[in-house]
Amino acid sequence: MSTVPLFVNGEGMSGGQVHHSIAGLPFLGPARTAPRYRFFSVRDEFPALWPVDHGGVGVEGELYAVPLEVIRDRFIPAEPPELELGVVELDDGSAALVVLLRENAHAAGEGLTDISEHGGWRAYRAGAGSEEHLISRGES
């Protein structure tokens, strides 16, 4: 069974609500994205990465070696419908699978809070999120 690197940055991380979908798989270590993304909280329930050409930040997360069958059968079914499978650039220039915000969810803008300055889901959830503002439709 071949494996692929999977970058998780929210509830898929160790201790998160959907970590069970990859629990027990090889942990490759902490990781950070290249500064090419904005980071959103969706309804304050889960985070989402959005690729940008400028104004991006690096986002903290964890990297796992995951068989494609696990991605297909356990990981993707546990993800919210606003997210889709994509490929992320990590700060060392390597690539990994990730879930990204769907284009239609970003365009709608409903329930999205830009939390990019926190640099990670755990930092945001630690209490700094009360200062955030919902983005308006069409903002990136």
pLDDT above 90 covers a percentage of the chain that reads: 85
Q: What is the pLDDT of residue 138?
A: 38
Task: Please state the pTM of the whole predicted model.
Answer: 0.88
In this prediction, residues 89-98 reach a mean pLDDT of 98
**Per the structure, how many domains does the chain have?**
1
Residues sharing a CB contact under 8 Å with residue 77, sequence separation 6 or more, in sequence order:
21
Please provide the distance, in angstroms rounded to a whole number, between the alpha carbons at the two ends of the chain: 39
What are the φ/ψ torsions at residue 133 (nearest 5 degrees)? -130, 140
Secondary structure (3-state) at 59 = coil
The dihedrals phi and psi of 76, each to the nearest 5 degrees, come to: -60, -45
Domain of residue 71, residue span: 3-131
In this model, does residue 134 exceed pLDDT 70?
no
C-alpha span between 34 and 14 (Å, rounded): 21
140 occurs within a structural domain = no
Residue 139 falls within a domain, yes or no?
no
Instruction: Judge whether 41 lies within some domain.
Output: yes
Instruction: Judge whether 13 lies within some domain.
Output: yes
The CATH number of whichever domain residue 40 belongs to comes to: 3.10.490.10
| Residue-level pLDDT at 85 | 97
